[in-house]
Amino acid sequence: YSAKNSPNHIRFYNATIRQAAEQKLHTLNDLRHAQSLGQFSLVYQSVVDLESDEIMAVEALLRWTQSNGNVIEAKDFIPLLEEAGLMVNVGQWALKQACLQMKQWHTQFDKNLKISVNISSSQLEHPDFIKLISNILLSTQLPAEALVIEITEGALIRRPIHISNVLTQLKAMKVNIAIDDFGAGLSSLSRLNSLPIDALKIDAGFAQRLDTPQGKKLCKAVVQLAQTLDIKFIVEGIENQSQRDCLQAMGKGMGQGFYFGKPVKSQQFAMDVLSHIDKPALEAC
Ligand code: C2E
Ligand code: MG
Ligand code: MG
Ligand code: MG
C-alpha cells in the first residue's frame, strides 16, 4: 500500500487536474478578448553579423500583456492561440505591425534593415496567405526584399506540394525565407535543397552545447551544411562571448541571442540599437 495510491492522493490529484483545466479554459477565454483589447504587442531583437557585430536584421516576437499587467512570452501562449483557432488572425496583425514598424525605421534611420516575422503552419497553409503578404507589402510600402518569413521545419512536413508552391511564390515576390529552429526537428535534407530557402536559423540548442567537444562538432556540421547548400546561417540563443567566439571561428554567418541583445519594445529598440547605426565614430570615443 503506497501513499501514491491513497484515496487522499487521488482526490488531491483530481483537484489538481481540474484546477489546471479550469486555469487553461480561463486563459483561452482571456485570449479570445486579447486582440480587441489591444493586449498584443511586438518586441524586437537584433540579428547581427558574427564578424563585425553589425546589425543585419530584426526579429519581431509577439507578447501578450494580460489585464493584470503580466507580460506573457510567445512560447507560453502561441500553442493556446493555435488551439483556440486565433493564430491566423493574430499572426496577420503581427505581420502587418512588424512591416509597418520596419517601414517607419527605414524612413527614420539610415540603414534599411530586414524584418523577420515568424509564421506558423496554420498561417502558411491558409489559402489567402500569398494575397495577405502582397497586400501588407503594398499597404505598408515595405520592399519585399526587407521581409523575412520564418517557418519551422515542422511547417514544411504537412502538405509538402502546397507548401513548396507557396514558398516558390514568395520567392518570386522577392520575400526572404528562413527555416527557424533548424536542427531541432526532422528536416529531409533533399527537401531542404529543393526549396527556395535563404537562411537557416540554427536552433539555440546548438549554441548551448558548444562547451562540449561533441556539441562543437555537431554545430560545425550544421554550419557546414548551410555553407554546402549556399544558404546563410543564423545561430540562435547566443548568450555569452565564448559561444560567440566559437561560432565566429566556424565561418561567415550571423547570430542572435541575449549576448547581442534581448527582445525589447520598439521605442527602446530604436533608442538602444537603431540610433547608434552609422555612428561608429561616436561609439569609439
Ligand atoms: P523563435 O522564432 O525561435 O524565437 C526565439 C525565441 O527565443 C524567443 O522566444 C526569444 O525571446 C528567445 N530568445 C532569444 N534569444 C535568446 C537567448 O539568448 N536565450 C534564450 N534562452 N532565449 C532567447 P519567444 O518570444 O517566447 O518566442 C517563442 C516562439 O514563438 C518563437 O520562437 C516563434 O516560433 C513563436 N513566435 C513568436 N512570435 C510569433 C509571431 O508573431 N507569430 C508566430 N506565428 N509565432 C511567433
Ligand atoms: Mg523565429
Ligand atoms: Mg528559433
Ligand atoms: Mg523557437
Q: In this predicted model, what pLDDT tens digit does every residue of 67-78 receive, in sequence order?
A: 999 999 999 999
Determine if ligand 1 sits within 6 Å of the CB of residue 93. Answer: no
Q: How far is the CA of 181 from the centre of ligand 3 (A)?
A: 4
Q: Is the pTM of this model over 0.90?
A: yes
Interval 10-16 mean pLDDT: 78
40, 90, 121, 147, 192 from 93: Cα distances, Å:
9, 5, 16, 15, 29
Amino acid identity, residue 181?
Answer: D
* 7 Cα to the center of ligand 2, angstroms: 46
Distance separating alpha carbons of residues 225 and 63, to the nearest angstrom:
33
* Atom 24 of ligand 1, nearest CA residue: 74
Q: How many angstroms separate the alpha carbon of residue 181 from the centre of ligand 4?
A: 6
Average pLDDT over residues 145-157: 94
- Distance between alpha carbon 152 and the CA centroid of its chain, in Å? 9
pLDDT at 117 over 70: yes
Summarised one tens digit per residue, pLDDT across range 226-273 is: 999 999 999 999 999 999 999 999 999 999 999 999 999 999 999 998
CA–CA gap between residue 131 and residue 201 (Å, rounded): 26
Q: Among all chains, which residue has been given the C-alpha cell 561560432?
A: 247
Q: What is the pLDDT confidence band of residue 11, given thresholds at 50, 70 and 90? A: confident
Which residue CA neighbors atom 33 of ligand 1 most closely? Answer: 118
CA 182–ligand 4 middle distance (angstroms)? 9
* Nearest ligand, measured from the Cα of 201: 3
Confidence tier at 185 by pLDDT (50, 70, 90): confident
Q: How far does the centroid of ligand 2 lie from the alpha carbon of residue 74, in Å?
A: 11
Can you tell me which residue has the cell 567566439? 245
Give which of 253, 196, 190 is closest to 219, Cα–Cα.
253
Q: Does 75 sit in the ligand 1 pocket, CB within 6 Å?
A: yes
Complex ipTM more than 0.95, yes or no: yes
Kind plus residue range of the DSSP H or E element containing 152: strand 147-152
Which residue intervals of the chain are DSSP H helices? 7-34, 78-83, 87-108, 121-124, 129-140, 154-157, 160-172, 189-194, 204-208, 213-228, 241-248, 266-272, 280-284
Name the residue with the closest Cα to ligand 1, atom 35. 74
H or E segment at 42? strand 40-49
61, 209, 247: residue to mutate for ligand 1 pocket, most atoms within 8 A of CB = 61
In the predicted structure, residue 125 carries a pLDDT above the cut 60: yes
The backbone torsions φ and ψ at residue 87, rounded to the nearest 5 degrees and listed phi first, read -60, -40
**CB of residue 78 inside a 6 A radius of ligand 1:** yes
Whether the CB of 118 sits within 6 Å of ligand 1? yes
**Residue range 53-79: mean pLDDT, rounded:** 97
What is the β-pairing status of strands 264-265 and 40-49? antiparallel
Instruction: Give the pLDDT of residue 190.
Output: 81
CA dist 196 → 120, 147, 175, 186, 232 (Å): 18, 15, 10, 18, 12
C-alpha distances in angstroms, 43 versus 39, 162, 194, 241? Answer: 13, 31, 33, 23
Which pLDDT score, from 0 to 100, does residue 114 have?
A: 98
pLDDT at residue 285 in the model: 46
CB-based contact 140:100 (threshold 8 Å) = yes
Whether pLDDT at 89 is above 90: yes
